[in-house]
Structure 1
Amino acid sequence: MARPVRFCVPGERLCNVEEGSTGSGTYTRHGSIFASLAGRLVKTSENGTPPMVSVVRDAESQLLPDVGAIVTCKVCSINARFAKVHILYISSMPLKTPFRGTIRKEDIRATEKDKVEVYKSFRPGDIVLAKVISLGDAQSNYLLSTAENELGVVVAHSEAGAQMVPVSWCEMQCPRTHTKELRKVARVQPQFLQM
């Protein structure tokens, strides 16, 4: 069975120096090997020597989220302090591989930040429009914000499995059961709608 291809972003820690030697697209710092560019991780070894660790770009380069970019992401998990997401699109351009992002509790809304509760804003599986506010690093992911009216949940499914419709800036309703659920609803602008 083929091993899944691992994609790396600049600054991502790849391994310890004892586990391999640096190749193209990598550098060493504090006893570890890091990626210096975005691309595919390649480890090559000959005759039982420690592998050479390299990062290779694909022929067509991967888009990278930049500060201020509007991204479309899917919520993977939530807790009391933040929501973990996978970034799927930058503007309307799909990514070959998703990037990890975090929406912190204080970055969900612009007002009444102390009253925000993550579970009342997002649920796992929700599709969210967000803005990149910080590039972060390999451990802390991209930091995202939904603290504008145009940003927030754009697609959500109810417990009955139906796609919910927004009824206010903080609620969506299931068309089958008419049950309302709390969300940080986006007021979607025409340029983000696919025709």
Structure 2
Amino acid sequence: MTMEIERTEEEEEAVVVVTPGEELGRSSSLIPGKGSYLAPHNRTVYASITGRRTLIQPSPDSPDQRPIVEVTGHKAHGAVPEPGSIILARVTKVMPKVASADIMCVGTKSVREKFTGVIRQQDVRETEIDKVNMHLSFRPGDIVKAQVNC
């Protein structure tokens, strides 16, 4: 959902408010900045938070002339997990192939909204994935440090 809010008459541009998961453009024409991320499977840039979309033009001498797209959220928003973020989460449920966890911190900042993550069996270790027993690896209440992936 894209909602446009008009500024005062002196300002020529309209403010574009975007929501998480909203497509901002293709990586061939945009560089993801703060509040946005690149989905590698389809090379599309998406918003990761609710806020105002801003395009930052590169300097004339920059080798990459694609603008940077950023989404600036309201100060009331807490930390938001993005691909690549290091998070702390509390395991809430363990099943044979996955464990669910509530994200508590992104980096050193606590989250204000509820975010749930999934730890897949193949994410526990790199080798002998089929031998991973999720019930022996995790218990509800465990605190896990992990990196967010798409």
Q: What is the TM-score of this pair, normalised by structure 2?
A: 0.51
Say whether the 8 Å CA contact 1:38–1:62 is kept in structure 2. no
In the TM superposition, residue 36 of structure 1 has moved relative to its aligned partner by: 8.7
Identify unmatched segments of 5+ residues in structure 1.
1-8, 13-34, 40-56, 135-195
Q: 1:139 maps to which residue?
A: none
SS in 2 for 1:133: coil
- Decide which of 113, 116, 119 is 1:100's aligned counterpart: 116
Q: 2:141 maps to which residue?
A: 125
Alignment of 1:68-107 (within 5 A): 68-107=84-123
In structure 1, C-alpha distance between the alignment counterparts of 2:108 and 2:131, rounded to whole Å: 32
Closer/same/farther in 2, CA of residues 109 and 36 from structure 1, 3 Å limit: closer
In the TM superposition, residue 86 of structure 1 has moved relative to its aligned partner by: 0.5
SS in 2 for 1:98: strand
1:59 is aligned to 2:75 = yes
Between Structure 1 and Structure 2, how many residues are aligned?
87
Closer/same/farther in 2, CA of residues 114 and 123 from structure 1, 3 Å limit: same
In structure 2, C-alpha distance between the alignment counterparts of 1:59 and 1:105, rounded to whole Å: 36
In the TM superposition, residue 106 of structure 1 has moved relative to its aligned partner by: 0.8
Say whether the 8 Å CA contact 2:91–2:140 is kept in structure 1. yes
- Residue type matched to 1:80 in 2? P
- Residue type matched to 2:50 in 1? A
In the TM superposition, residue 133 of structure 1 has moved relative to its aligned partner by: 1.2
Structure with bigger RCO (C-alpha 8 Å, 6+ apart) = 2
Identify unmatched segments of 5+ residues in structure 2.
1-18, 23-46, 52-72
In the TM superposition, residue 58 of structure 1 has moved relative to its aligned partner by: 4.5
RMSD (Å), alpha carbons: 2.4
